[in-house]
Amino acid sequence: MFDLFSSLQTPTAQAADLRHVVLGTPIAAAVQPGQGEVLFGCGCFWGAEKGFWRLPGVVTTAVGYAGGRGADPSYQQVCTGRTGHAEVVRVVWDRAQVGLSDLLKLFWECHDPTQGDRQGNDRGSQYRSVIVVMDPADRALAEASREAYGALLSKAGFGPITTEISSAQAFYFAEPYHQQYLAKPGSRPYCSAQPSGIRLGEFPGGSYSLPAEIWQSYDWSLPHCVLRGDNAPIRLP
């Protein structure tokens, strides 16, 4: 089996000891057989992480940085735009419960992947749209979904997708206070994502595991839909 966790940097001592505030799982746990791992960048990682931890079958999530120069950057360094890192969410999922197709559907629908180096009011290369797959077999599916969603956006009058898709880049855990930020008391309710309103349907190679009812919990026509939603995982009907 491809060693998914081998592509990650060793987590800091702080990250290694942290448990997910909502799911209760270790945020830096190694990926187990039958699980998958992917990194998603879609604007500010606070709101993006909440969107993914709510999906049934997600084992754990964490926020961090990927795709830049230099090891273990700080939030302040990434915010300068000089390191080239993007804010990303690490998602580990149980392949028997939820598919990569489901995760890709949430990724494409939760933001506007045509905005380049920004998302909404957040501007800078750290907010660019990215997908980093750790298992080479997952890359073809990510690329097929990008092509299909790009065609849908084009028909709706949007520009070309700017999302980068790459394989096995190093991931650096963000500082502890960023982890599951929106689930913590006193957090500032903020999400810069600007969903296009276009839904991803069937696409070549895609196969959805979750029932259609799940997606009713994400109403992208509402401003800041993720902030309005409960922190708890969505229950299967």
**Catalytic (active-site) positions:** 44
The 8-class DSSP code of residue 235 comes to P
How far is it, in rounded angstroms, from Cα 95 to Cα 103? 11
Among candidate residues 147, 156, 52, 141, the one with its CA nearest the CA of residue 98: 52
CB 210 within 8 A of CB 161: no
Q: Which of 62, 36, 28, 31 is nearest to 138 (CA)?
A: 36
Separation between Cα atoms, residue 75 and residue 71, nearest integer Å = 12
**Which among 157, 137, 134, 160 has a CA at the least distance from the CA of 147?**
160
Three-state SS sequence of 63-85: EEEECCCCCCCCHHHHHCCCCCC
Which residue from 131, 111, 116 is spatially nearest to 200, judged by alpha carbons?
111
Place of tokens 């992917």: 38
Cα–Cα nearest to 107, from 40, 182, 199? 40
